[in-house]
Structures are given as structure tokens and as C-alpha cells.
Amino acid sequence: MTRGTHSPSHTCRIVPPYLLARIAEVDDPNWQHAAAAARASLLRDDPFRSIRAPEPHPHAPGVRTTTKPGAVANSPQRTVSTAAGVEKLPGKVVRREGDKPSSDVAVNEAYDGLGDTFELYWEAYHRSSIDGNGLPLNATVHYGKNYDNAFWDGERMVFGDGDGQVFNRFTIAVDVIGHELTHGVTEKTVGLQYEGQAGALNESISDVFGSLVAQYAKRQTAAQASWLIGEGLFTAEVQGVALRSMKAPGTAYDDDVLGKDPQPSHMSGYVETTDDNGGVHINSGIPNHAFYLAATAISGNAWERAGQIWYDTLLGGDVPSTATFAVFAAATVAAATARYGADDSATHDVDGAWRAVGVVPAG
């Protein structure tokens, strides 16, 4: 399939538009390369950005899918292509499942990241790929020239190479791959709308499982993990460590060009805005921090009890597509109760984590 010069406007991307807009407006001669790349990336992501308001995400509630061990493929089927610097998909196939590593590091990073994501979902939750039925995992690297983003378009992962001044290549962070593929899982389960609190939950769920992909690949405990999203994406010229921090939202970067990380960690800092579909990349810091607090309170491997509760929540049928933070919080407490019991410490830890960020579970 061949696409035009941009992906659909509802496609979920790892770098929020407000961050690219900030870079695009820089008038310092030393940063003109990055500014031009950011402007081009914004236009590529949404060519009508300046003349229309954000629209709700079109996803309706999805069909909740899961698998049992042995039901379907228990190993990934990966295909990585290269767009070779142009903006057409899927590009030329350069590595298929089982092929030897490529001489292109981006190809290998994409291939490994697809595999790491498949492994987490299969080994931890017995889910075979994004759809629960062994969906082949496809990726395209080297999309466009100096493209400052990565996204899941409903069919494949697509990675830009970054501008080299603010952003490195987007295959460099495995949690980015896990994040974007999890948008597909969310679409197939709760189908959260991509606007307001539901949209922030959509982004947060992707951050949660993106972080768990990285932790599982490194076999890190909750205490050992960095809880950073997009670690390594920024070049050494940027005063920042990642796009977001689940451990300490609002601290991921503080830079003259990028500005300061705007994410709140508590409802007292909730941002009312029409930008970014109602602040989906900003306010996701609140549910992100709730998961971090729950996972570290429960302790051990975050993908086990804490991750299992969040995954059960996706499959439980209690989360509407327009869910608020309070509704989702209640669903996580219900999921913890169903699996571990009302008196279990994990259930209390989940409830306490939401209350610590100013969210009272509904009902």
C-alpha cells in the first residue's frame, strides 16, 4: 500500500504537537535546522493544524480480545521496511522474521523492539500480538527527511530519523515502540476516545505498557526502572532526559529551546486546554504517576501484579470509551479486587495510588 505525504490526523504520535510547535518557533540561528525540521514534521502530521480544532478520536469501543497459551502463535511475525527518506509506506522490505541482523542499526532496533513488545504481552499476559490473535508486526524506518516523530497508523510502526539536533532516531527507545503498539491494544480492547481525560488515559496506558516493555526486556524491578518515556531520544544538546517521566511528571526536560516539561503529577495541576486534543499528552502525567505509585508500592516486577491489574482493566468491560480518570481508577480497583481480593495489599495500593494523585475512584 502506498500512502500520501502524511498519515491520518487521528494517528497517535509519540512527540506531542506542543513540543514540536515550541521548537518550530525558535528564531535562534543556531537552531534553525531543528526549527525547520519541527515545522515540516508538524505539517506532515497535520497539514490542517492551523485552521481546524482538534477532533475526537474516531475509535468506537473495540472488541475485547485475549488469548490463552497455545491458542495462537507464540512468537512474532515481523517485517521491517525502509522508506529510504521519502514519505511513502510501506517502503522496501529489508528484514523479515528470522533473517540475520541488518547492517542498519535502525532496522535492527525496530525488529528487536517489535519482538520485545510481543514478548511482554505473550509471556506476561498470554496475549498474542496486538489483536490477541497473532497479528503480524510491521515497521517502516527512515520515514521522511529529518522527521521528528514515530507513530502507529493502525497497520504498522513508522519511525523518523529525527533532526539530529534535538532528536535522535526514533527507534532508539524500546519503550517508544511498546507505547505506539499499545495504542493498537487499547483500540482492540477499551477503544478510548482520543480527547480529554479519555485521551489522556489512552496515552497513559501506552506509557504504562511501553515502560513495562522496556522493564521486561531488561528484567528490571519497579525499584530499578527509570520510569522514563523516550529516554535517549534527545541529543546531548538538549537539557533533558526523556519526553516524560512517570516517576516525577514535569521533570523530564527543562531546556531553553524546548521549554519545561508541562506534565502535572496531581489533579491540582490538571491543564484545561483545547490544544493536543484537550491535553492528552500533558494530563496523562496524572494516571502515569498513579501507576508508578501503585507499582512501586506493590514492589517486585511491575509487569506482574501492577501490570496485570491494568491489563485486566482493559479486558474487564467496565471502561467506556469516554472514561474519566475516576471511572478508570474505579475499574482498576475492581480488577485488583477480582484477581487478588478486596483485602489484598495490591488492591489497597492501587486505590491509594489514585487517591495520592487526587483521583477518587468513582463509586
What does the alpha-carbon distance between residue 4 and residue 199 come to, in Å, rounded to a whole number?
Answer: 26
Domain spans in the chain, listed from the N-terminal domain onward? 196-356
What does the alpha-carbon distance between residue 36 and residue 27 come to, in Å, rounded to a whole number?
Answer: 10
The verdict on pTM exceeding 0.85 is: yes
What does the alpha-carbon distance between residue 29 and residue 36 come to, in Å, rounded to a whole number?
Answer: 11
Quick: pLDDT tens for 241-288: 999 999 999 999 999 999 999 999 999 999 999 999 999 999 999 999
The C-alpha cell 463509586 sits at 363
- Residues with catalytic roles: 180, 281
What does the alpha-carbon distance between residue 29 and residue 44 come to, in Å, rounded to a whole number?
Answer: 23
DSSP labels, 89-102: SS-EEEEETTPPPP
User: Is the Cα torsion angle 337, 340, 345, 349 positive or negative in sign?
Assistant: negative
What is the three-class DSSP state of 237?
coil
Contact 259, 22 (CB under 8 A): yes
What does the alpha-carbon distance between residue 281 and residue 110 come to, in Å, rounded to a whole number?
Answer: 23
Backbone phi, psi, residue 260, to 5°: -105, 140
What does the alpha-carbon distance between residue 78 and residue 191 come to, in Å, rounded to a whole number?
Answer: 25
What averages of pLDDT result for each successive group of 10 residues across the chain (363 residues)?
39 91 95 97 70 35 48 86 97 98 98 98 97 96 97 94 98 97 95 96 98 98 98 98 98 96 98 95 98 98 98 96 98 98 98 98 88
User: In the prediction, which pLDDT does 237 show?
Assistant: 97
> CATH second-level architecture of 196-356?
Orthogonal Bundle (1.10)
Give the pairing type, strands 157-159 and 137-141: parallel
Q: Which three cell numbers stand for residue 59?
A: 475509535
User: In the prediction, which pLDDT does 181 show?
Assistant: 96
> Residue 164's closest CA among 233, 266, 100?
233
How is the beta sheet containing 92-96 ordered, strand by strand? 12-13, 150-152, 157-159, 137-141, 78-82, 92-96
User: Is the Cα torsion angle 147, 285, 230, 123 positive or negative in sign?
Assistant: negative
What does the alpha-carbon distance between residue 345 and residue 357 come to, in Å, rounded to a whole number?
Answer: 19
